Amino acid sequence: MRNIILFIFIILTVHLNMSARGSGEKPSIVVLHSINFEESWTKQTYLDIERKFGEEGFTVKAIPLQIPGIRTMEGFQEKRTMILERVPVPPTLVVCIGDPSWLVARPLFDKEWKDIPSIICYARDYMYPKEEYLIDLDKNVLDTLVPITDVVKDYNATFIKYPVYIKQTIELIKKLQPELTKLAFIFDRRYISQQTKADVEAVLRKDFPGIQFEPLSTTSISTENLLDRLASFDNKTGVLYYSWYRTRKDNENRYLVDNVQKMTNSFSVPPIFTLQDVQTENGNFAGGYYVSPEDYAQVTVNTIEMILSGKDSKEIPIQTAETPRAYLNYQHLLLHQIDPGLYPPNATYFQEPPGFLQKYKIHIISLLVILALLITIGILRVRLFIQKQKAKDKELQIARQAQDLNQKYQLVLKASNMMTWIWDVKEARLECNNIYLTQRSIRDKGTDGQFCMSADEFYSGIHPEDLEQMQDAINKLIAGESISIDEEIRYLDDTGLEYTWIEIFAIVGKTDPEGKPAYLTGGTTLINQRKKMEQELRDKEKIEESNRLKSAFLANMSHEIRTPLNAIVGFSNLLAQTNPSEETKEFCEIIETNNELLLQLVNDILDLSKIEAGQMDFIYSEFNVSTLFRSLYQTFQSRVKDGVTLYCEIPEQDCVIYSEKNRLTQVITNFLTNACKFTFQGSIRMGYKEREDGLYFYVKDTGKGIERKNLPHVFERFAKFDSFIQGTGLGLSICQTILDNLHGKIGVESEEGKGSTFWFTIPCAVSTP
């Protein structure tokens, strides 16, 4: 029977994993925390689970529940809804850090996560039977607790207890504070804290009857008063910290609450001890006698491995992490004037001062390194003398090889098609293998059929502007100030009338016995075509720069152009409000209408200039699309012509997106403005719809429509198909540019005489407010 159950469990596990993969999800382990993962003693458990099973292909999801901040039953349901949203596919395993997190998630184990194995970490022998008690803080904690085995007996769950070693911790405090007469216990109103407080009182009554007990609870004292109380203690009082959790609903100084662990260390005269690891290594607490987070996390990881290997959680017996020892912070005790002679020798210490070897380790290592270097230098000097003799012989061999290589290189140059030459430094004579200076009058027939010319004759063919540059390069090569020549100069062509661009490169081909250059070996290539292309490229860049400057100038003229226009608009409006005559009122309306047209023209030109200059800005933000449409609807209701009705068609549920609100408003406004111009009767419908890839926006009218032949040109610049309707023909072109930048699409559907539908789409994530 046991084998059959095991087989069924394996089949179900494989099925869940295959379902997860089929939906694009890896198998997951969910870690629920009653509060958050900030404390080291719980954070270590999550990190070890994530590191171990993340490498094995599991997705480990950490979900903090902040249960102490919940005040209503609806709050628990919201947490469960949040969990299901974060984990849409049932996980392989659930790890609950703190039994309150399991209690909140219990309805999920009755339905959505039924039979999913779970582990309750940091459990005690007793817990609340119902989640209602977590918000009923007036109940007596000890009267409402029941054995944890009774609560989870009907579920596929096991738990790992985290024992609290109260007696051993108090004994440790007495060793460090021999004059101890009172113990102050810091705790909050959570039931686990209340239970621990009762356990501390019981241990004091039984094993330490001579020590007074002073509870310091969040229910009876503020954080500020707690710090004042700690400052009043002396070393006859031991301080034991358990927890100080306050919600943001409490009327407290948030800085004191958020930094209470650091502040207690600063204010308290005696050292502050703990019953679990609260980042003892950083020095805020003295430490205590407890199981380390690493040891407890290892027990949890081992339990998970048993479950993943096919064992039911409920079949795993209750486990207890039983590897406690004393953990102390050396500097914390020293800061609070505890005599180092009282420190127990068998404790694990953090921030302990280094011993002699540790303190002078660098000096000792440095001394050994220096001695080793001296010995090495002595050995190397002997070897260097021997190698020096060998190097001389090798140097002579390399010199001969270099000479042979230069000779071969010279032969290669002679055999190539390029114009190669040899410069005799001593004779100041140039020898070349091609007749490319036929107009020079002084030349002799050289060896091997080559032609020779003097250095002066060579220089005479160089363009006057390049002569000094070439002479300087050759002189530096001969003087040894450079290792090669690579120059571009102009030289007289075969006709002797025009200059052509050539590139000359050369190296020292041979040296004399004194090591000075005897011959220069080089070559020459024609680069007229390349120079022409470079000039064309420079001309093109100048033209493009001119266009950019023009566009930038127009884009930067926004304020200077708008200011006088705004003045004209303002004063024409004032004139219209001074009870003018009918004729004056008519003239004011004409001025206002043409002002609006001129302002729109300026705006379009400036937008166009910004586009060309690459200065059109896009500022993204989160906004409500339905609110935007309602605002535009109110604005354009007064702009439609008599006999035309404006409709706003938006979804019942508002949509919130993250996009460029101003630019989207500009596009929709342009669509509506055009619809108002060309629609003389009927209706105009504006709206948007949600699609899989984002949102679809549209403006549909019953106006005059667009001829079929003009549809491909609608979004071109200065496209106007009705010369009697005012406008620049730039608006739709700008709209298309905006949509291109938003990675969207824009289009139009129209039939002449029946109306048009202008639309666009943008990719975006849609949420509800």
Three-class SS state of 743 = coil
Residues 427 and 510: their CA atoms lie apart, in Å, by 14
Cα separation, 513 vs 515, in Å, equals 5
Is the alpha carbon torsion for 109, 112, 118, 124 positive or negative? Answer: negative
* Pairing mode, strands 157-161 and 348-350: unpaired
Cα-Cα end-to-end distance for the chain? 54
Sign, CA torsion 382/384/390/396: negative
pLDDT digits (tens, 9 = 90+) for 661-694: 988 998 999 899 889 988 999 999 999 999 888 9
What phi and psi values does residue 687 have, to the nearest 5 degrees?
A: 180, -175
Helices (H), 189-292: 191-207, 223-232, 254-258, 260-267
DSSP-derived pairing of the beta strands 644-649 and 621-624? unpaired
- In tens, the pLDDT along 528-575 reads 888 888 888 888 888 777 667 666 665 555 556 666 767 776 777 776
Buried-exposed string 79-97: b where 16+ CB fall within 10 A, e elsewhere: bbeebeeebebbbbbbbbb
pLDDT band at 363 (very low <50, low <70, confident <90, very high): confident
Q: Which domains does the chain have, with CATH numbers?
A: 2-161 (3.40.50.2300), 166-290+324-350 (3.40.50.2300), 418-526 (3.30.450.20), 533-612 (1.10.287.130), 618-762 (3.30.565.10)
pLDDT value of residue 303:
92
Q: Residue 431 above 90 pLDDT?
A: no
Rounded-to-integer distance, Cα 479 and Cα 508, Å: 11
> What six digits make up the tokens of 8?
């069924």
| Whole-number average pLDDT of the chain | 82
* Residue 212, pLDDT above cutoff 60: yes
Give the ranges where 614-650 is alpha helix by DSSP (H): 625-636
Among 699, 675, 676, smallest CA distance to 758 is for 699
452-474: b (≥16 Cβ within 10 Å) or e: bbbbebbeebbeeebeeebeebb
- Asked if 199 contacts 141 with a C-beta cutoff of 8 angstroms, the reply is no
Confidence band for 85, pLDDT divided at 50, 70 and 90: very high
Q: What is the DSSP string of 380-401?
A: HHHHHHHHHHHHHHHHHHHHHH
User: What single-letter amino acid sits at 489?
Assistant: I
Residue pair 33/65 in contact (Cβ under 8 Å)? The answer is yes
pLDDT at 152 over 60: yes
Region 148-168: mean pLDDT is 90
Exposed/middle/buried for residue 38 (C-beta within 10 Å: 0-12, 13-18, 19+): exposed
Residue 35 pLDDT > 50, yes or no?
A: yes
Distance CA(560)–CA(526), nearest Å, equals 54
Does residue 104 carry a pLDDT above 60? yes
Most confident of 256-270, 350-364, 442-456, 521-535: 521-535
| Model confidence pLDDT, tens digit, residues 47-76 | 999 999 989 889 999 999 888 888 888 988
Determine the Cα–Cα distance for residues 747 and 760; give it in Å rounded to an integer. 6
- Short-list 168, 164, 173, CA closest to 285: 173
Give SS3 for 110.
helix
pLDDT top residue among 205 and 560:
205
Nearest to 158 by CA among 104, 90, 102, 108: 102
CA distances from 6 to 2, 11, 12, 119, 315 (A): 6, 9, 10, 19, 11
Given a cut of 90, whether residue 356 has pLDDT beyond it is no
Residue 689 CA to residue 527 CA, distance in Å, equals 63
C-alpha–C-alpha distance, residues 729 and 608, integer Å:
12
Tell how strand 429-432 and strand 682-691 pair up: unpaired
- Cα three-residue angle 370-373-378, rounded to 5 degrees: 130
Q: What is the pLDDT of residue 447?
A: 46
The reported pLDDT for the residue numbered 245 is 79
Confidence at residue 178, expressed as pLDDT on a 0 to 100 scale: 93
Higher pLDDT, 465 or 42: 465
The pTM for the full model equals 0.46
Output the 3-class SS for 498-567. CEEEEEEEEEEEEECCCCCEEEEEEEEEECHHHHHHHHHHHHHHHHHHHHHHHHHHHHCCHHHHHHHHHH
Residue 357, sorted as left (phi over 0), alpha (psi -120 to 50) or beta, turns out to be: alpha
pLDDT at 409: 63
Distance, C-alpha 180 to centroid of its chain: 52
Nearest Cα to Cα of residue 426 among 507, 522, 516, 506: 516
- Find out whether 486 and 379 touch, Cβ atoms under 8 Å: no
Judged against a pLDDT cut of 60, whether residue 10 lies above it is answered with no
The β-bridge relationship of strands 118-123 and 28-33 is unpaired
**How far apart are the C-alpha atoms of 520 and 50, rounded to whole Å?**
70
Categorize the per-residue pLDDT at 5 as very low, low, confident or very high, splitting at 50, 70 and 90.
Answer: very low
Averaged pLDDT for residues 743-753: 91
